[in-house]
Amino acid sequence: MYKELEKFKVSNSFTFTVEDSLEQACNAPESGAGVFVVYAIEGDAKELIMVGSTGTVQNDGTLKSKNGGLYDKIVNGHQFAKTGRKYSWPAQMKLENIDALEVVWYETFNADVKAIPTAVEGQVLQNFLDANAKLPRWNVAF
């Protein structure tokens, strides 16, 4: 786990395989804003392959989040094509022979903590870049 994520107390994870429904597997909140990290599980190996976030902080300090929060961003957010992850993740997992994904999500902005989701996402990606000289393979750009 990345140290910058340890302070976020509202957090959980789920595992997803190509046989699963992402809509049913995802346990992220529909009202929460924050970040999610995706690990590819291949046998005993676990590799960070993606970092994402949702929620925008306005200049008055309030949060603007899309309806559906973290749940909607994980399940219906577009990746690999102009289609939701509930379709694109299983297809990509088959292409890459990934056994399962472990998705860990963190609420970074709520009544108790006020961390800008994209800033936290950027810090995790920066640390990954520092350690690996590249971004996780499912992050196209940042």
**42 part of a folded domain:** yes
**140 part of a folded domain:** no
**121 part of a folded domain:** yes
Written as one letter, the residue type at 60 is: D
The parent domain of residue 115 ranges over 3-132
Residue matched to tokens 């949060």: 63
- Largest Cα separation within the chain, whole Å, is 47
Give the other-Cβ count within 10 Å of 7's Cβ.
11
pLDDT at site 142: 84
**60 part of a folded domain:** yes
**113 part of a folded domain:** yes
Q: What is the pLDDT of residues 35-68, one digit of tens each?
A: 999 999 988 889 999 999 999 999 999 888 778 9
**120 part of a folded domain:** yes
**For the chain, how many structural domains are there in total?**
1
Q: How far is residue 44's CA from residue 62's CA, in Å, rounded to a whole number?
A: 42
Mapped onto helix, strand or coil, the DSSP state of residue 137 is: coil
pLDDT at site 65: 75
**128 part of a folded domain:** yes
